[in-house]
Amino acid sequence: MIGHNSSALARFATDLYVSGTTLFTLGLGDVVPHNLPARALIIFESGVGLGFVALVIGYLPVLYQAFSHREVSVALLDARAGSPPNAAELLRRHGFEGGEEALTALLAEWERWAAEILESHISYPILCYYRSQHDNQSWLSALVAILDTCALLISVIEGNPSRQAQLTFVMARHAVIDLGQVFRVQSHDAWQRRDAVDRLPPAEFYRLCGALGENHLRLCGDPASAKRLNTIRALYEPYAFALSEYLRMPLPVWVAPPKENDQWSLLTRMRTDAEAALKGGSDRSVFFPDEDH
């Protein structure tokens, strides 16, 4: 029993033993307390042990469910905005007929995603540290790529995508700022260096203009559009940069350099060649070259 050991080391070892059996709910009973404070401590530690079991059973699955739900949308963005995602690629891949409607639906989906991130990651800030399971992906880079896209749409393009971009931008910015406040990024060194980092220097800006296709004149030929873009960027980039430095998650570029063996470009060329063949009336020779054999 407690207190009957001959040496201090032996008594301490016995205390650890009874503490472990109590905390992990074994309850062997081969060592029992005699005085009231020791008994009260045993009762308290038994409750802590039950809470520990409940935490493992209930809390961790909730975290994994929130993490998994977050990563589904991040993974889906890979085919829509490249890997890692960037605003220019997202707009380029929606340059097809009906692309505006698809882009509007995508931004509406990410508006809800940002709201879910805001609620789940403020309630469980530890989720912010969880990394994506795939290369070139992170929840922060995906969120900032969506913010970049919304900034371009608001600055340059009119119509339905621009309206939805405003709604998505407000919610996504809300998520970035609130998460930055959770981690108190204003007190970090990165916050002091936020103005020294330009994600869109002049050379990158002109590359972005070239990647925007038919919309580049609205951005590069209109000083008001470029000014609007810079004003919108200042609303979220400082917090995004500070979070990136704190979480060690890189931010996306505005326009990615061309990649060799880009599967999206390869599939696009195959589809274009197939459509050209169909329009040329040679669909049977393309799809059934050995039909007579």
- The full set of domain ranges for the chain reads 8-52, 60-259
pLDDT score for 287: 42
The alpha carbon torsion through 272, 277, 278, 280 (nearest 10 deg) reads 130
Confidence band of 222 (pLDDT split at 50, 70, 90): confident
Full-model pTM: 0.76
Q: What is the mean pLDDT of the chain?
A: 83
Confidence band of 262 (pLDDT split at 50, 70, 90): low
| Interval 120-176: pLDDT, tens | 999 999 999 999 988 889 999 999 999 999 999 998 766 668 889 999 999 999 999
pLDDT score for 265: 63
pLDDT score for 159: 64
Contacts of 106 (CB under 8 A, 6+ apart): 80, 94
| Interval 280-291: pLDDT, tens | 654 444 444 444
pLDDT score for 252: 94
Burial 224-251 (b: 16+ CB within 10 A, else e): ebbebbeebbeebbbbbbbbbbbbebeb
